[in-house]
Structure 1
Amino acid sequence: MTTLLQRPGADRLARLRTPRWYRLPRWRRLSALLGAGLLLAVMTGEQGNGRDLLYSLLGTLTGARLWLCLGLGVAVWALAELAPRGAAGRVAAVLPRPRLPRAAKPVLVVLGLAVAVLAPLGLSRATNQVLVDWVGIYVLLALGLNVVIGWAGLLDLGFVAFFAIGGYSAAFWTGHLPVKPPFELNPFLVIPVAMLTCLVAGVLLGGPTLRLRGDYLAIVTLGFHEIIYLVAKNAEGLTHGSNGAFGIPHFSVELGPVSYRWKLDPVDYWWLLLALIVLAVVVLRRLQHSKVGRTWAAIREDEIAAAAHGVDTVKYKLMAFAIGASTSGAAGVVYASKVGFVNPENFPLLYSVLVLAYVIFGGMGSLPGVLLGAGLLAWLPHALKDVVDQKDRFMYLGALLVVMMIYRPQGLIPAGGKRVGGNGR
């Protein structure tokens, strides 16, 4: 009896099952890197000319810069794809896998905190301003968003709306909105109140919507951001509209003989943000290894299987939304108190996209990855300020993300354990 391979047309079926060469991952990565090289050539080429809309593009595509950038992309691809890996694998199999001693981890944490505390003392005022306004604020936001997308597997495109709620909470409870509070609070006392407000807002948003998944949930969160933005912009009797709220006081401490008031020095705000980040990391780490954290992991990996085992998925997703939103409230209060002013333009949708990119770049679900990724990418525009035009800095960020997603889609420091996909990603 003839076998299947001996039948007429079997070789044709085998060829149909074999993917075409251009569909192989190696060549798809080459295409992506060539596209990144083209983007790099455009970014570093001639500046635009208002009289000729194609001046910059034509100057880039006809010069040697294009071939240099494409050659750089091919070199990166060749180095990553064609380098011999057998010898490296054999050496890695023979050598013992390095393990960090358990006693060394606290030492590294203490050293890292010492550097974070003392480094601003040797930096310029402008650099410390970037540390506060970008690095510190966005690390705190990324920690909250990591709970939502990294641990619970939910996609939130309007996360900065909670940041705005925190900022306007600071303006309200310090008496700088048209609607006056029942009593005024010190900005330190506004932090827990703003966190509670954002937690309630997360519950109100998630309650009717968390039965949605994937793109549908992302669209709802996007709409939530637009609602908050438009209310802040148009409700002049509530928020001062586009004019914003002025005169928000700085933080101050008055305990008996101890009296200290934060001023315009960014170092004070950096230390305050650092304390909030450390507190958030400690709480979230404990939460990650609790029953709630394990339940979030089960929902992220397979929500249907988790529900089949009796997990109340809506309840735990609601908890993720609320807890993640609360850190944004604290960040909003610190930002509003430092700047002394909030208006709707401080909270555009672009910031939600940036925070999402920071979390993905660092490693979804990984606290060290989120800290490192958010810190590096938030610092990147400042690092490029002397060599790249301000309008082009985010293009470099996009090119870096493209290369990162090609060769390390799990992020800089991936989360431990096997990840088999998630809801809405």
Structure 2
Amino acid sequence: MSDLVSESRLKASFKDSGIAALITLALSFMLIGMRTEISIGGLAVDYRWAAVAITVVVVFAGRMLLNMYVWRPETPRTVTFRTVLLGLSILAALVIFYLVDRFLGAVAGLSPARAIESNDWLWILLLLALAVVAAIVATALLGLAEKRAAPTGPGAAASIKAGLAPLGKWLPLALGLLAVAVPFILIEWLGSRGSRQYLDLAILVLTYIMLGWGLNIVVGLAGLLDLGYVAFYAVGAYSFALLSQYFGLGFWMCLPLAGILAACWGMILGYPVLRLRGDYLAIVTLAFGEIIRVILLNWYDFTGGPDGISGIPRPTLFGIEFDRGDDGFAALFGLQYSSIHRIIFLYYVILAMALVTNFVTMRLRRLPVGRAWEALREDEIACRSLGINTTNTKLSAFATGAMFGGFAGSFFATRQGFISPESFTFIESAVILAIVVLGGLGSQIGVVIAAVVMIGGFEFFRDLQEYRMLVFGLLMVIIMVWKPRGLISTRKPTIGLKRRTGISADMVQEGQG
């Protein structure tokens, strides 16, 4: 009987995967298979059928694995050794592809990524053969894991979780120490010149972590869907740029002003949308973000319009600048001048700002305003019936989240030295919101993991930049299948009893229990 069930499931899975592959072929035929390029005499069409074939094969194989090992009707949808092993095999395949691409590109001048772009069928067939072998090995390992996991039952997962519970207390401290030591580790391994790229990437990741924590207050804690968060990011950046341009103020003087101005714009946005919720609130916030961008683009005399603002001053260390002069940082501390000093300083500035954001957010969650945010997220009507002023609660959530977005925008302006409206488009809001959703609404550590994966991980696949959105969509599908509520879906209660207390029956009868 089990053989018949397995055979019917195999046929159904094969049919479903074939349908998904055909749909992918129809969608990717024009989107991926054809690309226009500038050539002599006009535009020319470049046909990339190899990329279409790889896309169809990946979708077919992924759908097949999901049908066979995840969406099984006779078993509950739980995270088992099989699903964990499946995810590890996919991650291992990506790592192997990256290592092969880098090794062959450095040694033999060959690259699978460039082979796909140039329709080199020999390399493509080799990659497909490797994918088939990896799928066979993964299937065998999954079958072995199924046999071994059967007698253990759910107690094994519970015991593993209980064993890892004490690590939760030391994990934030360990991550903090690692973050502090990152510049020195990179310089020791790669040198000053080689570590520049990775330090810039670390600064970018920390910026998005800070933005994710700021938006997490609005979306994760208060439950207000905001699609225009990039507007506060832009307000903070332009506030610092304009104050430095017209009044000659420095970064540390403009940093609190940028946060205050962004918070004011958060209240300006929050007041008209007090009665909106859900999709209607999302549309209004999206419109607000576009209004800010259009104003920055068209108010040429004040904001510079599409030309942007350049010459934004760099931050200083108690008035000490990072230049070659006799009063520069290197000369005062007896060091040999290197441009990496300013990059390290910027890294620690954004790290400190992100840690302050996390600390303030965690403290606010334990205050009455933080509990009011969570009550508003769960049920606004019940929140109002408890006597909570929902108007002030929404405005405080918008203002607090906008303030941290303004701080991040001010840092972005001083790091870049140049800003323009093109840096604050809707795609930035979408990326920040995706970081919050993928990490888990209301989860601080989830935002960190999602930002590292989305911002830092995509940089390693820059050679396949045209497929980055495809990978992004694949990650979204995987997260929505396995973890619909985000990577970190469980949150500790903001307030709770430290010990159980008994209540006598007399108090219960009197209505006091």
TM-score by shorter chain over 0.5: yes
Shift in Å, 1:167: 0.6
User: Are 1:404 and 2:467 matched, yes or no?
Assistant: no
Shift in Å, 1:33: 11
- What is the CA–CA distance in structure 2 between the aligned matches of 1:253 and 1:93, rounded to whole Å? 50
Shift in Å, 1:314: 1.7
Moved more, 122-131 or 235-244: 122-131
- 2:240 maps to amino acid: A
Contact 2:237/2:419, CA 8 A, preserved across alignment: yes
Tell me the SS of whatever aligns to 2:489: coil
User: Are 1:205 and 2:278 matched, yes or no?
Assistant: no
User: Are 1:166 and 2:241 matched, yes or no?
Assistant: no
Could you tell me which runs of 5 or more consecutive residues in structure 2 were left unpaired when the two chains were aligned.
Answer: 1-11, 38-42, 73-81, 83-145, 322-326, 331-337, 494-513
Tell me the SS of whatever aligns to 1:141: helix
TM-score using structure 1 length: 0.79
Shift in Å, 1:64: 7.1
Q: Deviations over 1:168-202 (max 9, x none)?
A: 1111221x2xxx23xx3220121111111111110
User: Are 1:80 and 2:70 matched, yes or no?
Assistant: yes
User: Are 1:245 and 2:309 matched, yes or no?
Assistant: yes
Cα distance change of structure 1 residues 96 and 169 upon mapping to structure 2, 3 Å threshold: closer
Cα distance change of structure 1 residues 231 and 312 upon mapping to structure 2, 3 Å threshold: same
Cα distance change of structure 1 residues 285 and 65 upon mapping to structure 2, 3 Å threshold: closer
Percent pairwise identity: 33
User: Are 1:195 and 2:266 matched, yes or no?
Assistant: no
Cα distance change of structure 1 residues 151 and 68 upon mapping to structure 2, 3 Å threshold: closer
Alignment partner for residue 426 of structure 2, among 349, 363, 366?
Answer: 349
Alignment partner for residue 368 of structure 2, among 291, 306, 317?
Answer: 291
Cα distance change of structure 1 residues 344 and 417 upon mapping to structure 2, 3 Å threshold: same
TM-score using structure 2 length: 0.67
- What is the CA–CA distance in structure 1 between the aligned matches of 2:282 and 2:262, rounded to whole Å? 18
Shift in Å, 1:60: 5.5
Moved more, 393-402 or 240-249: 393-402
Shift in Å, 1:99: 5.2
Cα distance change of structure 1 residues 54 and 326 upon mapping to structure 2, 3 Å threshold: same
Cα distance change of structure 1 residues 186 and 376 upon mapping to structure 2, 3 Å threshold: same
Alignment match, 1:368: 445
Cα distance change of structure 1 residues 94 and 315 upon mapping to structure 2, 3 Å threshold: closer
- What is the CA–CA distance in structure 1 between the aligned matches of 2:436 and 2:22, rounded to whole Å? 21
Alignment partner for residue 152 of structure 1, among 193, 213, 222?
Answer: 222
- What is the CA–CA distance in structure 2 between the aligned matches of 1:106 and 1:95, rounded to whole Å? 18
Q: Give RMSD over aligned pairs.
A: 3.4
- What is the CA–CA distance in structure 2 between the aligned matches of 1:269 and 1:256, rounded to whole Å? 14
Contact 2:483/2:489, CA 8 A, preserved across alignment: no
Q: Where in structure 2 are the equivalents of 1:16-415 lying within 5 Å?
A: 34=20, 38=24, 42=28, 48=35, 55-56=47-48, 63=53, 66-67=56-57, 69-82=59-72, 87-92=151-156, 95=159, 97-98=161-162, 105=168, 107-121=170-184, 122=186, 124-132=195-203, 134-174=204-244, 176=245, 180-181=246-247, 184-254=248-318, 260=329, 265-386=342-463, 388=464, 390-415=465-490
Q: Deviations over 1:247-270 (max 9, x none)?
A: 001001236999749967432211
- What is the CA–CA distance in structure 2 between the aligned matches of 1:90 and 1:193, rounded to whole Å? 54
Cα distance change of structure 1 residues 118 and 95 upon mapping to structure 2, 3 Å threshold: closer
- What is the CA–CA distance in structure 1 between the aligned matches of 2:54 and 2:320, rounded to whole Å? 69
Shift in Å, 1:49: 5.3
- 1:169 maps to amino acid: S
Cα distance change of structure 1 residues 313 and 346 upon mapping to structure 2, 3 Å threshold: same
Shift in Å, 1:69: 3.7
Tell me the SS of whatever aligns to 1:48: strand
- What is the CA–CA distance in structure 1 between the aligned matches of 2:46 and 2:381, rounded to whole Å? 52
* Greater relative CO, 1 or 2 (CA 8 Å, sep 6+): 1
- 2:360 maps to amino acid: V
- What is the CA–CA distance in structure 1 between the aligned matches of 2:293 and 2:20, rounded to whole Å? 38
Cα distance change of structure 1 residues 80 and 383 upon mapping to structure 2, 3 Å threshold: same
Alignment match, 2:3: none
Contact 1:307/1:313, CA 8 A, preserved across alignment: yes
- What is the CA–CA distance in structure 2 between the aligned matches of 1:242 and 1:94, rounded to whole Å? 56
- What is the CA–CA distance in structure 1 between the aligned matches of 2:152 and 2:389, rounded to whole Å? 47
- What is the CA–CA distance in structure 2 between the aligned matches of 1:223 and 1:129, rounded to whole Å? 32
Shift in Å, 1:116: 1.2
- 1:130 maps to amino acid: L
Q: Deviations over 1:52-82 (max 9, x none)?
A: 86944x6566x47624540232113322234
Shift in Å, 1:108: 2.9
- 1:320 maps to amino acid: A
Larger radius of gyration: 2
Could you tell me which runs of 5 or more consecutive residues in structure 1 were left unpaired when the two chains were aligned.
Answer: 1-25, 419-425
- What is the CA–CA distance in structure 2 between the aligned matches of 1:235 and 1:32, rounded to whole Å? 53
Contact 2:311/2:418, CA 8 A, preserved across alignment: yes
Contact 1:232/1:241, CA 8 A, preserved across alignment: yes
Q: Deviations over 1:79-125 (max 9, x none)?
A: 223466864544348847515566x5554323212211222331521
Cα distance change of structure 1 residues 408 and 32 upon mapping to structure 2, 3 Å threshold: farther
Moved more, 406-415 or 86-95: 86-95
Cα distance change of structure 1 residues 314 and 95 upon mapping to structure 2, 3 Å threshold: same
Tell me the SS of whatever aligns to 2:318: strand
Tell me the SS of whatever aligns to 1:135: helix
